[in-house]
């Protein structure tokens, strides 16, 4: 009876979670041409978080950023990818994304944010960088029930640069911290909730019951 009560309490708690930053990456102090951006935070249940370049891009220096050149419109290998893995037994609901970008005068002006949930088919939002200046990105997301590995890619959606011409392979595009003003920079992050799956927790509870019986 005591074991049953403990199991029921764990199952009841499984449905509760609160929206917060789930995973973040820090560009502060980067040279810009590293192979990836370091993870600064991940909640328990999220692992293997990375920000990397597609194979069609080149690493490019740019202080406090993750910077790339070699952009060609229509090249499917030209993307910056944000990826993380949701551990077995959890699901994730994403509600927000924060970052910032900057394109050079001949870099890509319009960038779509694609997801692996539809095979990177349609952008869930598009950024417009009309000048070669910082662009804060602060988007609401509505992606529920995510499990396993999830990836997002920034890719050009038009062959247009901030200077009005076409994208040049020498042009650059970087992501870096969201600028909250007054010298306050927020690491690139996804917000939402992570939820332990009730089914897997119920199984753990049942396993506990079986072990308890065998010991008697």
**Residue 106 in contact with Ca ion, rule: CB under 5 A:** no
What single string gives the DSSP state of each residue in 20-83?
Answer: EEEEEE--TT--S-SSBPPEEEE-TTEEEEEEEE-TT-EE---TTSEEEE---TT-TT--EEEE
Q: Residue holding tokens 């050079």? A: 104
CB of 37 to Ca ion, least distance (A): 10
Report if residue 81 touches Ca ion, rule: CB under 5 A: no
- The residue within the footprint of Ca ion, chosen from 4, 6, 28, 204 (CB under 5 A), is 28
User: Could you say which of 22, 24, 25, 26 contacts Ca ion (CB under 5 A)?
Assistant: 26
> How many Å apart are CA 175 and CA 137, to the nearest integer?
10
Please tell me the distance from the alpha carbon of residue 173 to that of residue 175, in angstroms, as a whole number.
7
Does residue 187 belong to the site contacting Ca ion (CB under 5 A)?
Answer: yes
Residue closer to Ca ion, measured from CB, 72 or 116: 72
Contact call for residue 155 and Ca ion (CB under 5 A): no
Contact between 32 and Ca ion by CB under 5 A: the answer reads no
Q: Among 72, 91, 126, 147, which residue interacts with Ca ion (rule: CB under 5 A)? A: 72
Alpha carbons 106 and 169: distance in angstroms, whole number: 8
> Which residues of the chain form contacts with Ca ion (CB under 5 A)?
26, 28, 56, 70, 72, 75, 78, 177, 187
């Amino acid at each position: 009876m005591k074991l049953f009560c403990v199991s029921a309490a764990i199952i009841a708690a499984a449905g509760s979670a609160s929206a917060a930053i789930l995973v973040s990456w820090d560009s502060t102090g980067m040279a810009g041409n590293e192979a990836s951006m370091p993870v600064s935070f991940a909640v328990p249940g999220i692992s293997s978080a990375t920000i990397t370049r597609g194979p069609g891009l080149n690493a490019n220096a740019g202080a406090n950023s993750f910077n790339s050149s070699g952009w060609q419109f229509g090249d499917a290998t030209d993307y910056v990818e944000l990826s993380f893995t949701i551990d077995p037994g959890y699901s994730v609901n994403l509600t927000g994304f924060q970052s910032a970008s900057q394109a050079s005068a001949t870099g890509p002006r319009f960038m779509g944010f694609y997801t692996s949930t539809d095979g990177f088919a349609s952008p869930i939002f598009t950024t417009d960088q009309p000048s070669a200046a910082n662009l804060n990105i602060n988007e609401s997301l509505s992606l529920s029930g995510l499990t396993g590995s999830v990836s997002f890619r920034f890719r050009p959606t038009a062959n247009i640069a901030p200077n009005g011409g076409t994208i040049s392979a020498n042009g650059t595009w970087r992501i870096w911290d969201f600028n909250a003003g007054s010298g306050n920079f927020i690491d690139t992050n996804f917000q939402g909730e992570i939820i332990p799956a009730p089914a897997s927790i119920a199984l753990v509870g049942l396993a506990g019951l079986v072990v308890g019986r065998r010991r008697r």
